[in-house]
């Protein structure tokens, strides 16, 4: 039986998923995309998981891109299916009901950057490099890179990274808004897990409401998005967690959220 290219372990309420193809710099082939999809589906429905951290094995790469050897043999029809598979995974991650943090420990190129951008937050080592180099292969990003770059960093940055195909360092990525934080490589895991633990302790229903309001609202017109926010806001008043949170604040104590 072939070992899974995605490893999973729990650190309390935090599920840590690791793409484990270090000999290929964690490149995304079909098997890896399918394994990631299954891993995120499982995390979404596991009540014991409150936050997810995604990273790559080894010191060199988060995910260095899609598997070029596999792509080189694809027909146009197969390439369309491969792109659709990748986009389904990215959409699943983006629409996770729990916060997902990309722990970018090295190269995040092509499909790797697309994978990181699908996560809700990104923490990068100061040694990381990020980019969309598909143009150098005679291709364009196929897992949502053009659109998420546009939405995260704006048109100028999206065109610069996609047209030139030149990776940027972590400091430049932070400046562009591609990552939320840059930390020394030696502190990356500790800093990322601390952030994930903080999120895992927050009110789960409120976190989900925020994710829905920001991500779905961002795809609507302003008026519709504001109405959606109001609906989410009001819905939380029916939750025990909202009553617990406000009572804890008034009682000057730490809230105990129960995801209900």
Residue 100 CA neighbour count, 13 Å, CB half? 26
The CB-side HSE value for 80 (13 A sphere, CA atoms) comes to 2
Find the catalytic residue in 70, 94, 134, 191.
134
The DSSP output letter for 11 is E
Task: Judge whether 134 counts as a catalytic residue.
Answer: yes
Q: Per-residue DSSP letters for 24-56?
A: GTT-B-HHHHHHHHHHHHHHHH-TT--EEEEEE
Please state, in angstroms and rounded to a whole number, the distance separating the CA atoms of residues 63 and 91. 18
What is each CA distance from 149 to 48, 118, 135, 146, 205, in whole angstroms? 32, 10, 15, 5, 28
Residues 20 and 56: their CA atoms lie apart, in Å, by: 6
Of the listed 70, 81, 94, 114, which one is catalytic? 114
3-state secondary structure 52-99: EEEEECCCCEEECCECHHHHCCCCHHHHHHHHHHHHHHHHHHHCCCCC
* CA angle (187, 44, 234) in 5-degree steps: 100
Catalytic residues, which ones? 114, 134
């Amino acid at each position: 039986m072939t070992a899974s290219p995605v490893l999973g372990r729990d650190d309390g309420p935090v599920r840590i998923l690791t793409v484990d193809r270090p000999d290929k710099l964690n490149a995304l082939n079909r098997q890896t995309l399918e394994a990631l999809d299954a891993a995120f589906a499982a995390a979404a429905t596991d009540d014991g998981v409150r936050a997810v951290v995604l990273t790559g094995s080894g010191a060199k790469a988060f995910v260095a891109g899609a598997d070029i050897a596999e792509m080189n043999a694809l027909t146009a029809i197969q390439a369309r299916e491969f792109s659709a598979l990748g986009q389904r995974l990215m959409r699943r991650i983006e629409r996770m009901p729990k916060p997902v943090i990309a722990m970018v420990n090295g190269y995040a190129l092509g499909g790797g950057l697309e994978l990181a951008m699908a996560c809700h937050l990104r923490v990068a080592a100061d040694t990381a490099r990020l980019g969309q180099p598909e143009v150098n292969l005679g291709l364009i990003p196929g897992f949502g890179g053009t659109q998420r770059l546009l939405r995260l960093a704006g048109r100028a940055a999206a065109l610069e990274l996609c047209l030139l195909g030149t990776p940027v360092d972590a400091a430049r990525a932070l400046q562009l808004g591609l990552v939320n934080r840059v930390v020394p490589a030696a502190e990356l895991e500790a800093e990322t897990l601390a952030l994930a633990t903080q999120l895992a302790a927050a009110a789960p229903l409120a976190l989900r409401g925020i994710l829905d309001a920001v991500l779905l609202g961002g795809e609507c017109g302003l008026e519709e998005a504001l109405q959606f926010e109001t609906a989410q806001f009001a819905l939380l008043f029916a939750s025990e967690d909202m009553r617990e949170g406000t009572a804890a604040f008034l009682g000057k104590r730490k809230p105990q959220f129960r995801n209900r």
